[in-house]
Structure 1
C-alpha cells in the first residue's frame, strides 16, 4: 500500500476529523476549507490537484507481511498482516500479528492480552463494529 497518499475516502475522512478538531478549538471552517488543508498537508496546492492525483481508484489490496498500526479495542498497536481475504471491493478480512500483545480488558482487576487479532476493514480503514464509547473495534492508521 502507498503510505504517502491516502485514498480519496481516507483524505475526506481526514478532512472531517480536522474540521471537528478545529471546531473543538473554537474555530469553525467549512468542509471545502478542510479539504484544502488536507491537500496542503500532502504537498498539493489545492484539493482538486490532490484529487486528480489520487482519483477515485479503489484502495489497493493488502499483502501478507505489510506493516500496519492503529488501535484495537482502543489500545494502540503495531504489527503485520499474516492473512487476508477480499470480501468485496475495498473490504478486507485481515489477521494481524502484533509486535507486542495488547490488553483488551479495561477492568483493573483482570487482563486479557492478545498478540493475534482478526477483523474486517472497510474503505476508511476501520471495522463496522464499535465499542460502547463509539470507537471502532479495529482501526488501521498506517496504510
Structure 2
C-alpha cells in the first residue's frame, strides 16, 4: 500500500486510515503519531522529511536516480532510473532504465539478446502502453526505492 502514496494528500489519507484502524481496535493515536507512522511506512526518517519529499514529488511512477524493480519483456529486473520525461502535460512518461544486470529479451533457447538500457513510455502506474503479442506490457515498474531519507 505505501507504494501508491505519492502525494502529501495521499499520506494524510493513510494517516486517517491508521487512526480509524486503531480506533476500531480500541486504541487511540494522535494525528501527528499517525503521520509519523506513515512516514516510517514510506521509509522516511520522520513526517517532516516525508512531507518535504512528497510535496515535491510529481505524479510520476519514479524519479531520476530511483532504484526500480519489475519486469521487462516478461523478465525480472533491478535497475536505476537513468532519465524520465513528462509527456503531454502528464498524460504519461518516457522513462529510461539502466539494469544492474542485462536482461535476456529473447524467449527462444537457440539464441539470446541482452539489454541493459531501455526506454519505454509508461502511465502514472509504471506500466508501459506497448504490449507483447500476447498482451503483456513491455515494461512494468513494480517497486521503487528512492533512497532519500
Q: CA deviation at 1:5?
A: 3.9
User: Which residue pairs with 2:77 in the alignment?
Assistant: 77
RMSD: 3.1
8 Å contact 1:59–1:90 — kept in the other structure?
no
User: Which residue pairs with 1:118 in the alignment?
Assistant: 119
TM-score with structure 1 setting the length: 0.60
Runs of 4+ residues deviating >3 angstroms: 42-46
Q: Deviations over 1:93-128 (max 9, x none)?
A: 011100111100001101000111110110221011
Gaps of 5+ in 1: 9-38, 47-52
Q: Per the alignment, do residues 61 and 139 of structure 1 end up closer, same or farther by CA in structure 2, a change over 3 Å counting?
A: closer
Q: CA deviation at 1:6?
A: 0.3
Gaps of 5+ in 2: 7-13, 22-37, 39-56, 145-149
Q: How many residues are matched? A: 101
Aligned partners of 1:77, 1:100: CA distance in 2, in Å?
Answer: 8
Q: CA deviation at 1:133?
A: 1.8
User: Which residue pairs with 2:105 in the alignment?
Assistant: 104
Q: Per the alignment, do residues 103 and 89 of structure 1 end up closer, same or farther by CA in structure 2, a change over 3 Å counting?
A: same
User: Which residue pairs with 1:4 in the alignment?
Assistant: 2
User: Which residue pairs with 1:32 in the alignment?
Assistant: none
TM-score with structure 2 setting the length: 0.57
User: Which residue pairs with 1:28 in the alignment?
Assistant: none
